[in-house]
Structure 1
């Protein structure tokens, strides 16, 4: 909803995906090399405590190739021979059960920089699953389907069955990190994800922040780069474990825009911009695509709500900007067009499903087919957003503008909502989309007052607001 040299992190997950029969290990560690140069590198660790709460912690691991830690942060780093120790500081020693801590370091290397294989937290070996088929905390059966485009439908790649994405948005990761408060707004533990699945949702759209994912200098280290990417990965894993499709979407991005309908004057990713920026957006999608190219169950939504049409009075110029980017009328930064972002995803080797929203905050798809980005994978769908206060918010408009698009490509309403604290409007939206076997996602699974915006829930156990009860009951009737 409208509301220094870069080194892309190379995340090396060391915790295997939990099967339906695996309980959590006593502790989990993810180690990553976030950048590397001729004689040095920057590394990071994420430590998750799955056991009893701890008042202090100490992580140990061994280097295999003579690497040396030269400096570090968020821990007291030391090294004896090949053994490295990262001990808690006075301010981050408390580590709750289920809690995580992040620490980073600079190191030297020569010849090879092999990733450490074994880690211990307070002397206990990490990353060793315990098999227990009766474990009641198991997150789910991991049945999220890989999706692909077939004609104008989305289908399960394994079975060929038509698949509709029906679910919710989980807002927070687009704004909390850049504002310096955290990564998510509210809990994203298994119980809170299960509550979404209990509504019979099969899809969760996760808005992201470009600068936080890339770990740019204006983002606190504990909320950006590897820490942010690891947190998103954890949420994606939970979503998939409950059989739901995760959609990763670039929501807030870099670039200064002060023209018509500007959300902010800040160059940083603190609001919705009219288009993605050429400086960082392709790198963002290259990094995201690299991280998830081995997981075709994850879909990519390229950019939340483009509005280059607000920066220029020429619709032809706006659509040209949308597709090809470059120097766009009324936008002061170099723009990455949708074609640039599709190219970045595919060049990374990812064949994942891609969504692309149109103009007017994704509410205008009239020229989408004429400007559809070329996709060598043939796996792209049109995204649409609709609220009761939008221009195209009636059945007559949908018949005129959306039906022709839906006849050619899959159509996904990535955001639907209303600001009335009721659900009469979204009931109409869902019926129109149901009649045509199309997809839609409610905004948003956050505990905000529905009188100030379309919030679906009043608590993270899934208690619906007066607005949310319409979507909940409908999803249960459709998918129940």
Structure 2
């Protein structure tokens, strides 16, 4: 297990301390002016890395600050940063304060971070300056090699405030502009948060509405301590339409509306995801043969799914803080045993009769049309193939939207096929260059966070949002579980790593 590596720099001479993988310099009495900087290589992979930088002001109070340092090696560069305005000229890196974190009293601290790239090696910087005052002292702390094992999760004390300010007021209304998601004012925005599962299964498994979990103000407050700005809510088609399940029909619908309204009022954008649908499927990789919505089907049905989206769109039209994820994880390519990929892509977009699926399929175009027919202008998420890990032909088979307000939906887990930066660059990056992309589910089934660290670093560099699976206290032994209770206690190490990242990254 790879330990965290720290580079601590402080004013004055130093003595070396090494314990439990920590290499530090402890200075004697500090000068009246100056600073300390802790530079942490949070994670590293071939050609890239993520670093967090903690700054403490030891001098007089300041209302703004500029941190500078030099990379030791040619080829090291900042590709994208947060909580500061980052620039680089040759080896010199400059991070200037934002409006909300510029004031640092004597002893005051703030944390910033960035995603970087390197060519041959990635040594840590050895000298920093704050507003022109050098932080003297140095340390040789080894930079971790490419991540091959689970790193120790970063520790974030409960009292540590977010390094990015939490939302205040209601969640922003959203729209698509080019390849960006924007607020109504034109500011670019990323949906960063979690999935809150159970709306898809509890009503058909005798577990009530939300699997006995709270969806009250206290539970939302717990999410806000993680700086969560988006919650993806999986839904059940039968329960919404009153075809089966308990609660169902109007009672189920009202519970969804109440939770959505609570999230929006707290500055959190809900993503309504159609997860389980009606239609009997007994073909290749069949999860169950039940005609009712008790499992994941390869595609939605023409019989009921347009009706579902008509109802959801009518319920939430006029509230563009709510995003519609039209269908969770299509796999018509699996249903035809991957024998005709163009046919699978046509099935995804156009529906109708699809190889290996016995019921009439509703394509993504049918669902876009159903939503827009209501007059709803909400942003729509549209999935790809192979449980939406495959976006290779997404642009070719993108459904037509008269409002041009479609986002490509992508899911990424450590057990998927596309799990390398080269795959992400060639497949997902090509889509993200033309339309917004949202990673509706990210995770890893090992309870660690080394894989999602790499995914998030890549997504951050492309300014793509993500919602991790899952905000449910099911035990980390099940994998991809972020919390141990609805008070927001993170699991170790998966939840700890994700929480620390959300507290450092900017939307």
Deviations 1:267-319 (A, max 9, x none): 11001000000000000000000000021110000000000000112101100
What corresponds to 1:311 in structure 2? 335
CA distance in 2, matches of 1:151, 1:254: 34
Counterpart of 2:425?
A: 399
* 2:286 aligns with one of 247, 251, 262: 262
Structure 2 match to 1:148: 175
Structure 2-normalised TM-score?
Answer: 0.66
Residue of structure 2 aligned with 1:237, choices 249, 261, 275: 261
* C-alpha separation in 2, matches of 1:356 and 1:427: 25
* Other-structure match for 2:209: 183
Identify the residue that residue 410 of structure 1 maps to in structure 2.
436
Q: Residues of 2 paired with 1:407 and 1:197: CA distance?
A: 31
Which has the greater radius of gyration? 2
Counterpart CA distance in 1 for 2:208 and 2:275 is: 17
Q: Aligned pair 1:421/2:447, yes or no? A: yes
* Superposed displacement of residue 179, structure 1: 1.4
Would you say the 8 A contact 1:212–1:228 is kept in 2?
A: yes
For 1:470, the equivalent position in structure 2 comes to 497
Whole-Å Cα distance in 1 between the matches of residues 506 and 180 of structure 2?
A: 18
Unaligned stretches of 5+ in structure 1? 1-139
1:299 matched to which residue of 2? 323
Q: Between Structure 1 and Structure 2, how many residues are aligned?
A: 337
Runs of 4+ in 1 over 4 A off after TM superposition: none
| CA deviation after TM superposition for structure 1 residue 180, in Å | 2.2
Question: Structure 2, unaligned stretches of length 5 or more?
Answer: 1-166
1:51-62 matches, within 5 Å, as none
Q: CA deviation at 1:141?
A: 5.7
**What secondary structure does 1:362 align onto?**
coil
After superposition, give the CA deviation of every residue in 1:216-238 in whole Å (9 maximum; x if it has no partner).
1x323xx0011101101111011
Please give the alpha-carbon distance, in whole angstroms, between the structure 2 residues aligned to 1:462 and 1:352.
29
1-structure distance, mates of 2:314, 2:258: 16
Q: CA deviation at 1:394?
A: 1.2
C-alpha displacement at 1:142, in angstroms?
A: 3.9
The residue that corresponds to 1:386 in the other structure is: 412
- 1:83-104, CA deviations, whole angstroms, 9 ceiling, x for partnerless residues? xxxxxxxxxxxxxxxxxxxxxx
The answer to whether the Cα contact below 8 Å between 1:277 and 1:335 also exists between their aligned partners in 2 is yes
Normalising to structure 1: TM-score of the pair? Answer: 0.69
How far did residue 452 of structure 1 move?
Answer: 1.5
Q: Distance in 2 between matches of 1:147 and 1:400?
A: 28
What is the CA RMSD across the aligned residues, in angstroms?
1.1
1:396 deviation in Å? 1.1
1:290 equivalent in alignment to 2:314: yes
Contact 1:141 1:241 in 2 (8 A): no
